[in-house]
Each structure stands twice: as C-alpha cells, then as structure tokens.
Amino acid sequence: MYAILEIAGKQYKVEKDQTLFVDKLAGQEGDAVEFDKVLLVDNAGDVKVGVPTVAGAKVSAKILGAAKGDKVIVFKKKRRKGYRRKNGHRQQFTKVLIEGINA
C-alpha cells in the first residue's frame, strides 16, 4: 500500500515505515503529525484518485528530528565592473517517519 501526498507544495510517494526528509515543519521531535492532502491511494491494485484529494484519506507520521541540506553557494559577478557577491544557503529539513495510511 502506498499513497501520494502533498506536503508544502511538493508531492511525495510514501509507504508505511518509510522515512523521508520534507521542508521544515512546525513541531518538536517525537510529535505526531497528520497529512490530509492525499492525492492518490493504492491498496494492492485498488487505486483511489482524488479530485483533487481523496476524501477521508489521511497519512499519520512522527517527527524524528531536524536536519540541514548541503550548502549551496550563490555567486554573482559582472565582468569588468568590479561587482562580486557571494552568498550561501542551507535548506532546513524535517525527518519524518510514516506510521500509517488511512484510506
């Protein structure tokens, strides 16, 4: 059984007992979260497609902790003008364990 759900504007294919990194969520380590924007549910060939979401379907998960992504360097330069800007960014993620899919 798997589900496709939307978290913070991004779509993820999830199964039970799977861990994944999503954009930072509000909550502490160990908190339970529920995602109700389920777009598709497949239960051994029985596929339910939402319009736009599946009615009554929820995915329950638990927050395992926070993490940071790799550093991305943003460098801007205009040649012969003396213009140089260097900036860095590290995206913050939340590690989530999928505990169950209710369809």
pTM of the full structure: 0.83
In this prediction, residue 103 carries a pLDDT of 81
Region class of 79: left (phi > 0), else alpha (psi between -120 and 50), else beta: beta
Residues contacting 19, CB < 8 A, separation 6+: 64, 95, 96, 97, 98
Q: pLDDT by residue for the chain (103 residues), tens digit each?
A: 999 999 999 999 999 999 999 999 999 999 999 999 999 999 988 999 999 999 999 999 999 999 999 999 999 999 999 999 999 999 999 999 999 999 8
